[in-house]
């Protein structure tokens, strides 16, 4: 569905050139839900804007939904849906009018437009809101309307730019269910996010971008498995003694933490060994690596800190 090679974009600025995207290769198969994860300024939006024909690459090439990005941008546009970060709907329009207008814009006759709008209103839980103006919808409802608008011409490939930004936790969860449903319906989805939990929940496969370069790729689980082991945190008055037995162990008061592969399986033997040398334990925790740990391992920086700055 997407095959990009060496895609790059350089911006000329007053202070000199900025290489926002430095030659990325991207492959997305039909039916996949791929998350494009990276901190602010990593190059996600620039890549997305190139893949959706909104911005010309300065180098590289791509096939998107079967059409050449450089020689047939109109073909690309006909076959993809794009939902940007800001709502695409006119705030003073009624919900159904806005959808029908967009459907007609895509060349559908009145009857077909009504039928398709009705299907999308059902699918995105917008029934009963047809006559309300867009401005009166909640943030979550507006996002669902945005996605419905992106699907009016029934594209097989949908691009979503930061779908759940600024939504409350319940609306985010609801939106995620809708996005997963798209995947189940066979729509290929390529979405950008700087939220680890979103990437984890939604993506079959993740591409991690930092500083204009792809630094990691794999399913959320594969990426987590690349981090060197699970984090074990033990509470013990003999923290310093325990620390001498593990490489890179960190002591914080009566807590000692270290990483070991397959922590849950290794733990019983490890606790027995510590008991044998007289270590007294009052708490034991094992944490699976998070995508934040993955990002830290790959780039040396914490994605969470970056995301919080936003």
Ligand X SMILES: Nc1ncnc2c1ncn2[C@@H]1O[C@H](COP(=O)(O)OP(=O)(O)OP(=O)(O)O)[C@@H](O)[C@H]1O
DSSP 8-state symbol, 94: B
130, 94 Cβ separation under 8 angstroms: yes
- Segment lying near ligand X (by CB under 6 A), choices 11-19, 152-160, 213-221, 252-260: 11-19
Q: Which is closer to ligand X, CB of 100 or CB of 210?
A: 210
Q: How many residues bind ligand X (CB under 6 A)?
A: 13
Q: How far is the CB of 20 from ligand X (least distance, A)?
A: 3
Kindly write out the interface string for residues 139-178 of this chain, putting x where it contacts ligand X by CB under 6 A and - elsewhere: ----------------------------------------
Q: How far is the CB of 215 from ligand X (least distance, A)?
A: 13
Q: Structure tokens of 36?
A: 């494009």
219, 48 Cβ separation under 8 angstroms: no
Tell me if 194 contacts ligand X by CB under 6 A. yes
Which residue among 28, 34, 44, 62 contacts ligand X (CB under 6 A)? 44
Q: How far is the CB of 45 from ligand X (least distance, A)?
A: 3
253, 237 Cβ separation under 8 angstroms: no
- Segment lying near ligand X (by CB under 6 A), choices 41-49, 74-82, 249-257, 284-292: 41-49
Tell me if 69 contacts ligand X by CB under 6 A. no
Strand partners, 187: none
Which residue among 1, 4, 20, 270 contacts ligand X (CB under 6 A)? 20
Strands (E), the chain: 2-13, 16-28, 33-37, 59-64, 67-68, 80-83, 157-161, 188-193, 205-210, 213-218, 230-235, 250-252, 255-260, 283-287
Which residue among 46, 52, 141, 171 contacts ligand X (CB under 6 A)? 46
In angstroms, what CA-CA distances link 132 with 10, 93, 139? 43, 8, 14
Which residue among 35, 38, 81, 183 contacts ligand X (CB under 6 A)? 38
Tell me if 216 contacts ligand X by CB under 6 A. no
Q: How many degrees, rounded to 5, is the angle at CA 47 between CA 143 and CA 10?
A: 135
- What distance, in Å, lies between the first and last C-alpha atoms of the chain? 31
Q: How far is the CB of 188 from ligand X (least distance, A)?
A: 20
Residues forming contacts to ligand X in the complex (CB under 6 A) are 11, 13, 18, 20, 38, 40-46, 194
């Amino acid at each position: 569905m997407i095959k990009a090679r060496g895609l790059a974009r350089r911006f000329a600025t007053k202070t000199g050139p900025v290489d926002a995207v430095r030659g990325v290769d991207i492959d997305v198969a039909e039916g996949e839900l791929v998350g494009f994860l990276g901190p602010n300024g990593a190059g996600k939006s620039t890549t997305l804007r190139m893949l959706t024909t909104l911005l010309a690459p300065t180098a590289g090439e791509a096939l998107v939904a079967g059409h050449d990005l450089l020689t047939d941008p109109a073909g690309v546009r006909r076959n993809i849906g794009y939902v940007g970060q800001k709502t695409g709907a006119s705030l003073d329009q009624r919900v159904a009018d806005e959808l029908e207008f967009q459907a007609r814009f895509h060349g559908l006759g009145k009857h077909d437009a009504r039928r398709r709008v009705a299907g999308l209103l059902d699918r995105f839980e917008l029934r009963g809101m047809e006559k309300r103006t867009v401005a009166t919808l909640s943030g979550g409802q507006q996002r669902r309307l945005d996605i419905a608008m992106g699907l009016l011409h029934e594209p097989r490939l949908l691009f979503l730019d930061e779908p759940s930004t600024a939504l409350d936790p319940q609306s985010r969860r609801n939106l995620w269910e809708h996005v997963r449903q798209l995947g189940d319906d066979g729509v290929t989805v390529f979405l950008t996010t700087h939220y680890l939990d979103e990437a984890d929940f939604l993506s079959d496969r993740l591409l991690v971008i930092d500083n204009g370069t792809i630094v990691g790729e794999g399913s959320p689980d594969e990426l987590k498995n690349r981090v060197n082991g699970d984090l074990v945190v033990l509470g013990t008055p003999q923290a310093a003694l325990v620390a001498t037995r593990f490489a890179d162990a960190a002591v914080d008061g009566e807590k000692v933490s270290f990483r070991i592969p397959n922590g849950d399986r290794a733990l019983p033997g490890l606790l027995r060994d510590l008991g044998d040398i007289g270590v007294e334990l009052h708490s034991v925790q094992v944490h699976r690596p998070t995508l934040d740990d993955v990002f830290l391992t790959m780039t040396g920086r914490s994605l969470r800190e970056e995301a919080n700055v936003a």
